[in-house]
Amino acid sequence: MGLCQLETQQHAKNIRIFRREGSELLITQNDHKFTQNQVQLGSNLGNDPRDTRRPGGWDGRVDVRFTVHDRGKISADSVKLLVAPILTYHHSQLVQQIFTTAGNDTSNFFQTKFVSAIEASLAEMDVNYPLFKFNASDDIWAQDFFEPGYTSMPGPSGPVALQVMIRSSQDDRVAGRQVFEYLRGSGTGAVQDRGGSRDEINSMGNLETIPPHNFNGKNYPAGRIVLGTHGAQKPYILEYMLAQEIQDPLLLDTNWLAVGYVDEILQFLPANNSLGWVMLVPDPQAGLAILRKTQSAGYGNIRAFLRQNDTEGNPSDLFGILLGPSWGTKLHDR
């Protein structure tokens, strides 16, 4: 007879072993005995992780031991398995689906116009990207309460992938529950590293991913995560992403921004170069120089932005306000 066993209680808690019997896949407990016939003919086994890698907890590693008892003789062998990491998408990957939040004419009028503009753009481009609209919260910032991710492993016919939606670590952000309520399903998982505060530093707009590259002799085939820090404070999700061991997060000071998200100052665009992409970053001093030049040309009292009545509050002398000497000095010092 034979036994297929997970070697520790932690392993048994976080992974299940399945065996195929006919057309069924059955959970195989540590005390299940394979018959002599099953051992001789061989058995088709599978495994199902029940969690992801966690900081300070399960690291995704398990030891599976198969033991055969034959007329007083014992033979055994073991295999080490590692759960596939949770990865974030980077800008070089193809679009599969678009997420936003639905607006309404009462409380989210501008969001309604934004969604209409997205739909018009998709129609104009003649592309068939599904557009999902969250509608169970007045929190319109889909970019901030979750981040699309995935996990991938080798398979007999090529990689096997599963989409995994990563809810922000902001436990009190109710909108994030929609990730589990509406996105999780067949072919799509959902996960959260719980315990973070509602602080803006923990919004997922504070996470971006550099496309694949090499740097200082190290290869990042799945890209590299960038997270913004606020002084000494680091995003709560940092330790979770480190536990995945692949996209080695890079920390960037975003404390000088009003909200402090890394996506406010960092994006990546496709390019015809050896990398296949370029990094887009702001240049506040260059923008200030343009405004100064405009003001010196006599246009200081002209509105800088025309919003087509979408919003109110832009002063008529915006150029002049931005060009005060103390404002420019503060910007330079930071």
102 & 171 share domain: yes
Of the three residues 62, 82, 102, the one that is the final residue of a domain is 82
Q: How many domains is the chain built from? A: 3
Secondary structure of the chain as H, E, C letters: CEEEEECCHHHHHHEEEEEEECCEEEECCCCCEECHHHHHHCCCEEEEECCCCCCCCCCCEEEEEEEEEECCEEEEEEEEEECCCCEECCCCCCCCCEEEECCCCCCCHHHHHHHHHHHHHHHHHCCCCCEEEECCCCCCCHHHHEEEEEEEECCECECEEEEEEEECCECCCHHHHHHHHHHCECCEEEEECCCECCCHHHCHHHEEEECCEEECCEEECCCEEEEEEECCECCCCHHHHHHCCCCCCEEEECCCCCCCCHHHCCEEEECCCCCCEEEECCCHHHHHHHHHHHHHHHHCCCCCCCCCCCCCCCCCCHHHHHCCHHHHHHHHHC
- Do 146 and 35 belong to one domain? no
Last residue of some domain: 82, 114, 134? 82
Same domain? For 71 and 149 the reply is: no
Question: 275 and 288: one domain?
Answer: no
Q: Among residues 82, 111, 130, which one ends one of the domains?
A: 82
Same domain, 14 and 162: no
Do residues 159 and 105 both lie within one domain?
yes
159 shares a domain with 289? no
Whether residues 74 and 187 share a domain: the answer is no
What CATH number does the domain containing 192 carry? 3.75.10.10
Residues 53 and 179 in one domain: no
- 177 and 291 inside one domain: no
Domain shared by 188 and 293, yes or no: no
Say yes or no: 164 and 118 in one domain: yes
> Along the 334 residues of the chain, how does pLDDT read in single tens digits?
888 888 888 888 889 999 988 888 999 898 888 888 888 888 888 888 889 999 998 999 999 999 999 888 999 999 999 999 999 999 999 999 999 999 877 777 889 999 999 999 999 998 889 999 999 998 999 999 999 999 998 888 999 999 999 999 999 999 999 999 999 998 899 999 999 999 999 999 999 999 999 999 999 999 999 999 999 999 999 999 999 999 999 999 999 998 999 999 999 999 999 999 999 999 989 988 988 898 889 887 776 666 555 555 544 445 554 545 544 434 444 4
- Give the structural domain span for 67: 2-82
